[in-house]
Amino acid sequence: MQVGDLTILWRGESVEVSREGAIVATGRWRDGVLGERSGSLDETGDDSALWQAIESAIRQDEDAIIASATAKAFDARGVDVTQIDWMLSLTPLERLAALETHTRSIVRLLGDASVD
């Protein structure tokens, strides 16, 4: 992504900022904030506006990724199909094992509820 003449490479937690192919700054993306920043983005030393613009660009990119993933999770009727897709990706034996695990969890929850 581009912010002015800066190229931003965002890979999960790692952020690299380059200008004309040379890395000029790095940072760590966590919890919607760009921290552990190092390097200089501007010759004047006043980088705060540029760092804010980079954070905003990453947030927009992150929002687009989340929106895309969410859109794929629901069918035309609004039904969340992620669990259905996951279950269909399993073999019959794996489906049975998952069902048994969930059944044990429900029984355990019901047992805990009856104690109260």
pLDDT tens column, 21-68: 889 989 999 888 888 888 888 777 678 888 889 999 999 998 998 888
Q: Which residues contact 53 (CB under 8 A, 6 or more apart)?
A: 3, 4
- Provide the 3-class DSSP secondary structure of residue 38: strand
Together in a domain, 59 and 25: yes
Specify whether the CB–CB gap between 52 and 59 falls below 8 A.
Answer: no
Together in a domain, 11 and 52: yes
Together in a domain, 22 and 66: yes
Together in a domain, 40 and 90: no
Average of pLDDT values for 76-86?
Answer: 87
What span, in angstroms and rounded, lies between the C-alpha atoms of 43 and 47?
9
pLDDT band at residue 17 under the 50/70/90 scheme = very high
Together in a domain, 7 and 62: yes
Together in a domain, 66 and 87: no
Together in a domain, 25 and 65: yes
Count of domains for the chain: 2
* pLDDT reading at 78 higher than 60: yes
Domain holding 96, by residue range, is: 82-115
* pLDDT reading at 116 higher than 70: no
pLDDT at site 112: 67
Together in a domain, 92 and 54: no
